[in-house]
């Protein structure tokens, strides 16, 4: 076990350099035996915000594990490369606080209300793919979960429970356009990964212990942790290698549509006396161009007609 532990520790360093899958942590069997467990790649500034969505089928329960969401949150926080927006318990608790504010129960100046929730730039989802029939053991691949609506993206793990092998895929998806931006792959095997205690907080072992839920106390949990670690490191290398950041995908998205709230006339210039272009009824859509003159905004309609109207008459959809 000591030799196996030394091999696994050295392999994380090789993986951090984004080598092919065969050289990922938990796969390469020929590293030196004197390297320390490395840290995750670091980002000086977060590259964007991501939301994690659990699949409908909770495949991890069949393996005695908790949701892999905890692993992904730890990877993201420790690397400082992705800021996770909580759409689960965190959002529910925030809404409870907002309701207290609306009822008048919060202290004055609490500054908690509408228009403060940060938008996700990317979507990622933990899921599991079909298992290899040659691996034996429990066929957890039949528990494949669903994608986000519109197949927004998924994290899939092909798990072999008898040999404790896992394949993790992290699909990065643009939250605004639903375009698939990248797929990162991570693989790991029980025979190649150290399962001794104290694997080091900088590598996957420390994350398995921090995530809990069986990831540090079971063989398959440790293998899945290593596979996700490998996939996440590859994803970070991709993001650091010139991929669009959250701000860039936000800027490149289409213009947000606004809905007309009251009957209003579109004018040729920013003046109530300017030539009439057309009229709008409540529910009609307009697309601001970004040009403003006081309360007057320049907009396009759905047919490409351009003009000016009062911003008081429109609202984000």
**For the chain, what are the domain ranges?**
2-85+120-250, 255-316
Alpha-carbon span 178 to 16, nearest angstrom: 29
The pLDDT, as a whole number, for residue 139 is 42
Alpha-carbon span 147 to 53, nearest angstrom: 9
Tens-digit pLDDT string for the chain (317 aa)? 444 344 333 333 333 333 333 345 544 444 433 333 346 788 898 989 999 977 777 878 888 888 888 899 999 999 999 999 998 888 889 889 888 888 888 888 888 877 788 889 999 877 765 323 234 444 444 333 333 333 334 444 455 545 678 888 888 988 888 888 888 888 887 754 444 433 333 455 566 666 666 788 788 888 888 888 888 998 888 888 877 667 666 666 667 788 999 999 999 999 999 999 999 999 999 989 889 999 999 999 988 899 999 999 998 86
The pLDDT, as a whole number, for residue 31 is 43
Tokens for 130?
């079909």
Class of residue 79 by CB neighbours under 10 A (exposed 0-12, middle 13-18, buried 19+): buried
Burial string for 279-308 (b: 16+ CB within 10 Å, else e) reads ebeeebebebeeeeeeebbbbbbeeeeebb
Task: Give the up-direction half-sphere exposure of residue 81: CA atoms within 13 A in the CB hemisphere.
Answer: 21
Beta bridge partners of 206: none
Alpha-carbon span 285 to 291, nearest angstrom: 17
Tokens for 299?
């907009």
Task: Give the up-direction half-sphere exposure of residue 264: CA atoms within 13 A in the CB hemisphere.
Answer: 26
Tokens for 115?
């228009």
If you compute the radius of gyration of the chain from its CA atoms, what whole number of angstroms results? 25
128 in Cβ contact with 144 (< 8 Å): yes
Model pTM score: 0.63
Residue 102's CB: how many other CB atoms inside 10 A? 11
Q: Are strands 285-293 and 276-280 parallel, antiparallel or unpaired?
A: unpaired
Alpha-carbon span 29 to 11, nearest angstrom: 8
- Could you tell me where the beta strands, DSSP code E, fall in 56-111? 83-84
Report the CATH architecture of 255-316. Answer: Roll (2.30)
Give the residue from 228, 145, 147 showing the smallest Cα distance to 180. Answer: 147
Residue 2's CB: how many other CB atoms inside 10 A? 9
218 in Cβ contact with 226 (< 8 Å): no
174 in Cβ contact with 249 (< 8 Å): yes
What percent of the residues of the chain are helix, what percent strand, and what percent coil, each to the nearest 5?
30, 20, 50
- Sign, Cα dihedral of 121, 149, 314, 291: positive
């Amino acid at each position: 076990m000591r030799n196996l532990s030394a091999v696994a520790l050295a392999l994380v360093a090789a993986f951090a350099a984004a080598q092919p899958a065969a050289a990922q942590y938990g796969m390469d069997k020929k590293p030196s035996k004197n390297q320390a467990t490395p840290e995750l790649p670091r980002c000086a500034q977060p590259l964007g915000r991501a939301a994690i969505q659990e699949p409908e089928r909770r495949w991890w329960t069949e393996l005695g594990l908790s949701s892999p969401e905890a692993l992904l949150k730890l990877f993201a926080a420790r690397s400082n490369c992705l800021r996770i927006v909580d759409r689960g318990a965190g959002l529910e608790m925030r809404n409870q606080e907002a309701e207290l504010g609306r009822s008048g129960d919060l202290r004055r100046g609490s500054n908690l209300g509408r228009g403060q929730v940060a938008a996700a730039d990317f979507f990622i989802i933990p899921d599991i793919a079909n298992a290899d029939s040659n691996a034996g053991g429990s066929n957890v691949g039949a528990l494949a979960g669903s994608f986000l609506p519109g197949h927004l993206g998924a994290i899939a793990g092909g798990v072999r429970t008898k040999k404790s092998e896992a394949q993790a895929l992290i699909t990065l998806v643009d939250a605004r356009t639903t375009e698939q931006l990248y797929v990162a792959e991570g693989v790991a095997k029980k025979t190649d990964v150290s399962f001794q205690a104290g694997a080091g907080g900088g590598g996957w072992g420390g994350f398995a212990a921090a995530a809990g839920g069986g990831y540090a106390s079971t063989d398959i949990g440790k293998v899945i942790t290593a596979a996700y670690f490998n996939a996440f490191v590859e994803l970070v290398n991709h993001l650091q290698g010139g991929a669009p950041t959250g701000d860039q995908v936000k800027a490149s998205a289409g213009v947000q549509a606004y809905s007309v709230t009251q009957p209003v006339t579109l004018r040729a210039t920013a003046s109530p006396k300017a030539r009439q272009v057309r009229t709008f009824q409540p529910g009609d859509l307009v697309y601001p161009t970004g040009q403003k003159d006081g309360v007057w905004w320049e907009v396009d309609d759905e047919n490409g007609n351009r003009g000016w109207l009062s911003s008081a008459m429109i609202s984000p959809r």
